[in-house]
A and B are shown apart, each in its own frame.
Chain A
Amino acid sequence: MTAEQLSQPEPTRRRVIELFLGGGLLASFASFIYPVLRYLVPPAVADLGGDEVVAAKLAELKPNSSKIFRFGSRPGLLIMNSDGTYRALSATCTHLGCTVQYRNDLREIWCACHNGIYDLSGRNVSGPPPRPLDVFDVHVRGDEIVVNRKREA
């Protein structure tokens, strides 16, 4: 073999190196680009921001009935009044944290744990609860019922 031939690695070895490098670079770039491309596509569920949530759809509730929905990490209570309007409050009882319910026979909010009773404005009217329930703002947007926290002044 000539000196020239010896100074170059054999063609097969060159090919192997090129394959490794090229293939590896391609594969690694793909593994970087793929997540970024998926990331750029906005998800189906829009981000409403933390103080707002879609509690229910328009036809979901009947007059004088209620639904527990999730608001952040706590449950909320959505009530449809007999006249068709909505109200929403925090569903965590201020006594010991049980989840309250709407009593459509008494038109009151009731906590089953120790018989605490709140009126429909969230005021604690009877039993152990020491504080009223937080009241949220409700409005209808299209066919969605949107609940958000009261804006601070």
Chain B
Amino acid sequence: MFATLRHWLDERLNWDDLMAPLRHKTVPTHRLSYWYFLGGITLFLFVIQVTTGILLLLYYHPGANEAFESVQYIMTRVRFGWLIRSIHSWSANLMIFTAFAHMFSVLFLKAYRKPRELTWISGVLLLFLVMGFGFSGYLLPWNTLAFFATKVGTEITGQVPIVGKPMMIFLRGGEDVTGATLTRFFGFHVAVLPGLVTVMILLHLLLVQRLGMSIPPKLEVQWTANPSARREMKFFPNFMLRELMAWYVGLGVLAALAALFPWNLGVKADPFVPAPAGIKPEWYFLFMFQTLKLIPSKVWIVDGEVLGVLAFGLVGLLWLLLPFFESDQPTRMKAWITGLAVFAVVYITGMSVYGHLAK
């Protein structure tokens, strides 16, 4: 039955030619092959997000007067609404985590080297877009925590010199965080960002398909010297089946999280109530937030927060261009990038934990 379908498609779409690269695609197998799963898991979680997001769209009302109550409605009255919403919230957090993990694994496995610089750049841009998804989506339930986290977050954007204020007004849809901000964030979250991310994912996947899977440098040296030592498996069906297993595990984890720890509603946002003490952004922004809190309010003549924001901007830009700081020549140049990667992991983890524990 599948054979006839394939034949039908082939006659009209040149299906076999289209599928040929996939059939020949191989995945190197070595001690560190398991890290190859991370990219696929992030993609899988994104698909979950889109699906549950579309389902939520059927009942969500964007607008300061109705958003909170519509989420409450989904959680309490819609059949399995609690499940869809909790999966959406948990999957969002898991996706950001796997995106970071995927990025760091690429960094440590040195898969960003020539000729894969563009893959890295598209990947880092995807990471930024995904964090934008997180930031915009967090506001949509319109509860107190989200409201004030958004206030603080957009306030920090406003600190950038010259362009900061206009940027903040653009993000907020006005001077303050209001219903207009909610509408705007909703637009970003369901239209603008999905469009951008889809294009970027297609580019990223295309590059991965064209360039094949990278292998760690040491292994590359070994296998070039001794081609018979090369181990690989076919992508289709072997690797894909294993990936399917990983995705199923992911589904199980999501289901358990959603059923055992449903996402809470919070309290409806009231712009006139003073901010509760100890407002913090979501965990994936904590390391930046905590860093900003630790910078003294004035460094020489520059305002501390401005310095912090600019520093993060600079770091982000350099992160994007990381592959270009490494020469093709072996060993010497590469050590410092590994060192930088280790520092980054330690810093982000440490600052996140500190930010979580701090008052």
Interface residue ranges, A against B (CB under 8 Å): 28, 32, 35-36, 38-43, 45, 47, 49-51, 72
Contacts and interface: CB of A to CB of B under 8 A. Distances in A.
B79 A49 contact: no
Contacts of B84: 35-36, 39
A27 to B, nearest CB: 12
Q: How large is the interface on B (under 10, 10 to 19, 20 to 34, 35 or more residues)?
A: 20 to 34
Contacts of B77: 43, 45, 47
Interface of B: 55, 58-59, 61, 65-66, 68-70, 72-73, 77-81, 83-84, 248, 251, 268
Q: Give the interface SS of chain A, mostly helix, strand, loop or mixed.
A: loop
Contacts of B72: 50
Contacts of A45: 77
A28 B254 CA distance: 14
Contact of B55 (A28, A36, A51): A36
A47 B79 contact: no
B69 A39 contact: no
Instruction: Among A38, A40, A50, find the residue whose CB has the most chain B CB atoms closer than 10 A.
Output: A50
24 contacts: A35-B79, A35-B80, A36-B55, A38-B80, A39-B80, A39-B81, A39-B84, A43-B77, A43-B78, A45-B77, A47-B59, A47-B61, A47-B70, A47-B77, A49-B61, A49-B65, A49-B66, A49-B70, A50-B65, A50-B66, A50-B69, A50-B70, A50-B72, A51-B69
B220 to A, nearest CB: 34
A40 B83 CA distance: 13
B79 A41 contact: yes
A1 to B, nearest CB: 27
Contacts of A41: 79
Nearest to B79: A38
B79 A43 contact: yes
B91 to A, nearest CB: 13
Contacts of A40: 55, 58
Given A28-B248, A35-B84, A39-B55, A51 B65 contact: yes
A69 B52 CA distance: 34
A40 B84 CA distance: 11
Closest 9 CB pairs of A and B: A50-B69, A35-B80, A38-B79, A49-B66, A47-B73, A43-B77, A39-B80, A51-B65, A38-B80
A45 B72 CA distance: 13
Contacts of B59: 47
B79 A39 contact: yes
B268 A39 contact: no
Nearest to B142: A50
Contact of A47 (B55, B69, B248, B251): B69
Contacts of B61: 47, 49
B190 to A, nearest CB: 18
B249 to A, nearest CB: 12
A42 B77 CA distance: 9
B256 to A, nearest CB: 13
Contacts of B268: 50, 72
A49 B69 contact: yes
A47 to B, nearest CB: 4
Nearest to A51: B65
A151 to B, nearest CB: 9
Given A36-B80, A36-B84, 5 more contacts: A38-B79, A42-B78, A47-B59, A49-B69, A50-B268
A38 to B, nearest CB: 4
A50 B141 CA distance: 12
A50 B81 CA distance: 18
Given A43-B77, A45-B77, A50-B268, A35 B69 contact: no
B242 to A, nearest CB: 14
A76 to B, nearest CB: 15
Contacts of A32: 251
A41 B59 CA distance: 11
A92 to B, nearest CB: 15
Contacts of A72: 268
Contacts of B73: 47
B65 A39 contact: no
Contacts of B78: 39, 42-43
